A and B are shown apart, each in its own frame.
Chain A
Amino acid sequence: MRIHCLLAGMLAATLPCSALAQQDTLREIERYRQLLQDGNPAELYEARGEELWKRERGPKNASLGRCDLGLGPGIVKGAYVRLPRYFADTDRVQDLESRLVTCMVTLQGFTTEEAKRNPFSGTGAPMITTDPFSGVGQRSVMTDLVAWIASESRGMRIAPPMSHPRERLAYEAGEKLFYYRAGPYDFGCVTCHGEEGKRIRLQNLPKMTNPKDAQRAFGTWPGYRVSEGELRSMQWRMWECIRQMRFPELEFASDASIALITYLAKKAEGGTLDAPSLKR
């Protein structure tokens, strides 16, 4: 307590009023986040996701129970923290979402188009009103599955494999995409995520080449976003950043999205997955 008072006094003496007011704002935001940590609505998505994994769906009326997420058919525990990875059957590096598309097609008989439809949840009051995947109250099978599968890696170390040359290639391409500047604003991922301790407005920005920042950022997706009232996945995070960069739309489960996620996963290697998390 005494230290607190002393600290406050020192701060008051050294900082102009606006800086003090801003510190209060930041502190309040942090307090709000902590208050929300109890009872994360992500649990509802996780429960639905587990049920959807087991439910018989699609033209083949099959469950996803035999889906191979990289650790063998049907093994979900620990799969998320070892993605993206190379899959011989598709001859592609895949992240969780693109792999789920594969399983929905091969096991359940959906078309690729059907499997990719509605990849992000909609909301009652969508923040991005023209988001094609957002309908009022629209649920997303993909988002629910991602929530549950990620939760089955909670507390585990992020360890994307890098032994296959294609995984290495995805990483290197992802790195180049991270630095790729284009569009009317000259933006690249690096514009916001290249320096330490920066903010956009009041939002803190992780520096993705800094392991600690990358681990925290990567390790907290998917997350339930209070501001949107929805659970958001890593694919959504890429899609949304790319939109804000003034680029054309990033295709869901595309190679560029997977390359970027591979790059970020490798940067976050060794961190602990703390997801689905709760976000502002």
Chain B
Amino acid sequence: MRPKTILALALCSTLVAGCATRTSDSEADRAVTEMVKTSFKTRGQASVDRLKQDEVQALCSKYKGEPPEDARRKIEKSQQTTLRYPGSGKMMGDWREGQRIAQSGAGRQFTDDPARPAGGSCYNCHQLAPQELSFGTIGPSLYQFGKLRGSSEAIQKYTYGKIYNSDAFSACSNMPRFGHNGVLTEEQITHLVALLLDPESPVNK
């Protein structure tokens, strides 16, 4: 390779690296980068790779969860393209299964058994069935979610998509991207859709 080519390549990689660096190259940013490298260790399923941010995580961190309009649109647009719906076209499963999944807060912690399916942690943040009094309030109440909206195909699709990747609808949402991040399976999400939309579900009674 000729020196010129090498220089060009070096420039290119610098540019690429420059683009990948999301925040200004301040002292605090450098300190954080170093801490992320040195202050954590892989334990069980929770490997240090988990600290590597994807574009959404990096932008949401940078903007402290409140991205400006252009970044918001950019995130929602890119996340819309990640949405994958069940091949069968069936988006409503069994609300009873959904209730079990909604109750479980287990999954992906280094203290969790990686062989067991993750729960949806839904009650950690949302009110759903009124019988469950121990619910969190980080997210909105979903009591009567289906009663208020019906269970048309469009609503089913929206509900499925929202659980699959909440950032596709609301950038920097507090809700994990359960489907996109591979936390919940397609089948599990259909059960949660049923919990929210089935007229027989306690959520809609």
Contact = CB atoms under 8 A, between A and B. Distances in A.
A131 B110 CA distance: 10
B63 to A, nearest CB: 9
Contacts of B72: none
Nearest to B177: A186
A184 B183 contact: yes
Contacts of B31: 169-170, 172-173, 255, 259
Interface stretch (B42-50, B147-155, B185-193): B42-50
Interface in A4-47: 16, 18, 21-22, 25
B138 A200 contact: yes
B53 A182 contact: yes
A243 B110 contact: yes
Interface in B34-83: 34-36, 38-44, 46-48, 50-53, 56-57, 60-61, 64-65
A197 B137 CA distance: 8
Interface in B85-142: 108-111, 123-125, 130-131, 133-138
Nearest to B66: A194
B144 to A, nearest CB: 11
B103 to A, nearest CB: 10
Nearest to A249: B43
B40 A200 contact: no
B46 A173 contact: no
Interface centre among B28, B123, B125, B176 (most CB of A within 10 A): B28
Interface in A128-153: 128-131
Given A180-B32, A259-B31, A201 B50 contact: no
Given A201-B134, A250-B39, A181 B60 contact: yes
Contacts of B200: none
A190 B65 contact: yes
A251 B40 contact: yes
B21 interface: no
A189 to B, nearest CB: 11
B177 A254 contact: no
Q: Which of B35, B47, B167 has the most CB of A within 10 A?
A: B35
B181 interface: yes
A190 to B, nearest CB: 6
A247 interface: yes
Most buried by B among A129, A173, A257: A173
B24 to A, nearest CB: 11
A128 B110 CA distance: 10
A192 interface: yes
B52 A182 contact: yes
Interface in A166-182: 169-170, 172-173, 175-177, 179-182
B174 interface: yes
Given A243-B111, A248-B42, A254 B137 contact: no
Contacts of B136: 198-203
B32 A246 contact: no
Given A181-B57, A184-B182, A255-B38, A199 B137 contact: yes
A242 B41 CA distance: 12
A87 interface: no
Contacts of A187: 176
A205 B38 CA distance: 29
Nearest to B58: A181
A84 interface: no
B25 interface: no
A187 to B, nearest CB: 7
Contacts of B167: 186
Contact of B51 (A130, A247, A254): A247
Contacts of B44: 130
B35 A250 contact: no
Give 4 nearest A-B pairs by CB, closest first: A256-B39, A254-B39, A172-B28, A185-B176
11 contacts: A173-B31, A180-B36, A181-B53, A184-B176, A184-B183, A194-B65, A201-B135, A202-B136, A248-B46, A256-B38, A257-B39
Interface of A: 16, 18, 21-22, 25, 128-131, 169-170, 172-173, 175-177, 179-188, 190-192, 194-195, 197-203, 205, 242-244, 246-251, 254-257, 259
Given A182-B61, A195-B138, A200-B125, 13 more contacts: A130-B44, A131-B111, A172-B27, A172-B31, A173-B32, A179-B61, A180-B53, A185-B108, A247-B50, A251-B39, A255-B35, A255-B38, A255-B39
